[in-house]
Amino acid sequence: MTALTTFYLSQLLGLKVFSENNRFLGIIRDLLILNEPENPFLKEPFRPRIMAVETGTKAEPVYYDFRFFEVVRDNREYRVICNKQQRLDEDSIESYLPLCESIIDQQIVDLNGRKLVRVYDIRLVSLKGGTFVVAVDVGMEGRLRRLGIAKAAKSIYSLFGRQLPSKFILWDDVDTLDASNFNLRLDKPLTKLQTLHPSDLADIIEELGRNSRKTLFSNLDEEHAADVLEEMEPKTQVDLIESLPVEKAADVLEKMPADEAADILEQLNDDRAEMLLREMDAETSEEVRELLEYSDRLVGSIMNTDFISFHENETAAQALQVIRETKPEAQTLYSLFLVSYNGKLIGTLSLRDLIVADPKIMLGDIMKKNPVSVKDTDKLSSLAEIVSKYNLLALPVINDKEMLEGMVVVDDILFDLLNEKKTI
């Protein structure tokens, strides 16, 4: 009989537990962990400790302190021995997380792979200080082990000189998502999830079930939620905005470019859209309302009203200082604009031109005069040809009086064409 140091949750579930004097105590139904560092000041990788074992029935569970349990292997069979019967009441295990019930067969985020995977098994290790979770098994081997045919499958694979595919994810690189039934605190997982690129997180959220999707998205802060929402498909955008309270939804829309917010509101029913517009701050709401007035066949419907403009008698140093202070989105810097004091477009400037220029030089001396532009009432079908012909990343949009109204960026033009979001 050999005490095991490494084993899997699936190898313990359903096993009979015996006391030290060989008295039957019950059958293992689950193991429970403390899913937070016992010493938060240690910077070592987090490995949750097994705190309790669940036996009994689903209707009448019985819990024991796992510190007094030992897993052994006897003649190729696993045995679990309880050296001391320390019962735990339900109050004492309230903060513990049941592994089988909450992790097995659930969707998780592989932070390194930036994708959703399903957990088939959990790897455990027994050390001097206790038994700990070290990784989750999301590979084929874990799936077959659950079915009890992993050994047979390995033998078949070996006949062809191959190994059974296996994949483990360390606990530190895992975030559990399907936590709706277990009242898990989402603040800790979100700390990790928010390190992902908004596009990756958007893909993950879109793959989730509807309830998990809403739970995760609603726990993002407004700024991050806005970035993630921009990367999603229109149908998902609408579904998530409708699932949020009006106040939270309005805060998220305020953080988005006005044209993106207008696209979402355009797909909502009129009453919901009006409620959100009233909840948004007055300036942003007015910008969005103006965009909503444009036909979806016109340039104004995809125009971004967030742009940076300067006057020709300002210096390069002054312009750079404004950019540092405002910290605009990347798209806003595709092109910088110069306007007269009555708001008419008179020139454009690239960020490169600004950076390499003498700090004291006037912007009017380095601007490109007579810039290519489009009117807000021009048809969308004209945009692709213009940006292609002049190799532009952004186009200024003017009104009938040649006053600068906004800009359209190549990203939005391509999105519109490729996804047929609007009828051109």
Work out the angle between the directed axes of helices 222-230 and 234-243 (0-180°, nearest 10): 150
Query: Is 334's pLDDT higher than 50?
Result: yes
- Residue 27 is predicted with a pLDDT of 94
Tracing tokens 């429970």 back to the chain, one arrives at 32
pLDDT tens string 344-360: 999 999 999 999 999 99
List Cβ neighbours of 210 (8 Å cut-off, separation of 6 or more). 239
CA 2 → CA 73, 345, 357, distances in Å? 5, 82, 75
Query: Is 99's pLDDT higher than 80?
Result: yes
Question: Using 50, 70 and 90 to split pLDDT, how confident is the model at 306?
Answer: confident
What is 309-419's CATH topology?
CBS-domain (3.10.580)
Which of these, 139, 61, 147, lies nearest to 98 by C-alpha position?
61
pTM: 0.65
Q: Enumerate the CATH 1.25.60.10 domain ranges in the chain, comma separated.
A: 194-293
- Residue 387 is predicted with a pLDDT of 85
Q: For 194-293, CATH number? A: 1.25.60.10
Residue of 20 and 12 predicted with greater confidence: 12
- Asked if 17 contacts 53 with a C-beta cutoff of 8 angstroms, the reply is yes
Question: Using 50, 70 and 90 to split pLDDT, how confident is the model at 6?
Answer: confident
Mean per-residue pLDDT for 338-349?
95
Residue of 186 and 414 predicted with greater confidence: 414
Residue of 181 and 217 predicted with greater confidence: 217
Query: Is 398's pLDDT higher than 70?
Result: yes
Residue of 39 and 266 predicted with greater confidence: 266
Question: Using 50, 70 and 90 to split pLDDT, how confident is the model at 54?
Answer: very high
Exposure on the CB side of residue 378, measured as CA atoms within 13 A: 22
Q: Enumerate the CATH 3.10.580.10 domain ranges in the chain, comma separated.
A: 309-419
- Residue 184 is predicted with a pLDDT of 38
β-pair partners for 315: 362
Question: Average model confidence (pLDDT) for the chain?
Answer: 86
Which of the given ranges, 13-22, 39-48, 318-327, has the highest pLDDT on average? Answer: 318-327
Work out the angle between the directed axes of helices 246-254 and 234-243 (0-180°, nearest 10): 130
- Residue 181 is predicted with a pLDDT of 43
From CA 203, how far away is CA 196, in angstroms rounded? 11
From CA 199, how far away is CA 55, in angstroms rounded? 43
Query: Is 180's pLDDT higher than 50?
Result: no
pLDDT tens string 314-332: 999 999 999 999 998 888 8
Exposure on the CB side of residue 421, measured as CA atoms within 13 A: 22
